[in-house]
Amino acid sequence: MKISFVVPAYNEEKYIGKCLDSIFREINRSKVDAEVIAVNNASTDGTREVILARPGVLLVDELRKGLSQARQAGFLVSSGEIIANIDADSILAPGWIERALLEFSKNKKLVALSGPYIYYDRSSWVNFMVWSYYLVGYAGHLFNHYILQKGAMLQGGNFVLRRSALEKIGGFDVRIGFYGEDTDVAKRIQKMGQVKFSFLFPMRTSARRFSGEGLVSTAAKYVINHFWVIIFRKPFSKKYKDIR
């Protein structure tokens, strides 16, 4: 299967180079059929120039600022059977691509795969607290997806979707700017098949939002918007702070 990486980037000149390098490192190591799409999402810094400096990256300029807008713009020009949605401040772990391809190839009913974040710039204690949060969320995912069948859990910035399923649900909801975009996709795509959240599928990323808004405050916003989208089909928070 061909895998398409879509990396949204708004003012990410500090991080996106390392992100793209990690993707190509894993592509070259695993020898898979892949494409890398970077979406310059109305950036005002040097993000576009950093992207252009990486040979082999398809640059898409999306002037409408918003995470869902950027993901949708990348998806529309992609050609892979599975779409990997990665955030610009993340770094692929070794074996990430092989794990994704294995999960989708062995389970034809799988439409979405996700896993937790590991914050490379924070202590083991912070990561322990975050993984405790994931454990609670995972219990909710199992109940909501397999029993109530009302939604599922995807970690934004570390989720892979089957193209055919994403097309059937109409892609990403561009009315959602930031909070709840992953929950919205999970809620709609779980009707097409199985959504899997695996602790064996981690992604290394920056904890800059924790630094900017606080660990508890950040977690609370994500939890509120997660359940708000599941219940009311729209996020609670329409405004968000850009942490750069």
Q: What whole-number distance in Å separates Cα of residue 21 and Cα of residue 54?
A: 8
The pLDDT profile of the chain, 244 residues, written as one tens digit per residue, is 999 999 999 999 999 999 999 999 999 999 999 999 999 999 999 999 999 999 999 999 999 999 999 999 999 999 999 999 999 999 999 999 999 999 999 999 999 999 999 999 999 999 999 999 999 999 999 999 999 999 999 999 999 999 999 999 999 999 999 999 999 999 999 999 999 999 999 999 999 999 899 989 999 999 999 999 999 999 999 999 898 8
Q: What is the pLDDT of residue 243?
A: 87
Domain 3-232 class, CATH top level? alpha beta
pTM assigned to the model = 0.96
CA distances from 77 to 7, 36, 104, 149 (A): 12, 11, 21, 31
Tokens of 227: 């359940």
Q: What whole-number distance in Å separates Cα of residue 148 and Cα of residue 127?
A: 30
List the 34-41 sheet strands across, edge first: 57-62, 34-41, 3-9, 82-86, 158-162, 110-114, 194-197
Q: What whole-number distance in Å separates Cα of residue 83 and Cα of residue 74?
A: 9
pLDDT above 90: percentage of residues in the chain:
97
List the 203-205 sheet strands across, edge first: 90-91, 203-205, 117-119
Q: What whole-number distance in Å separates Cα of residue 217 and Cα of residue 10?
A: 23
Domain layout of the chain by residue ranges: 3-232
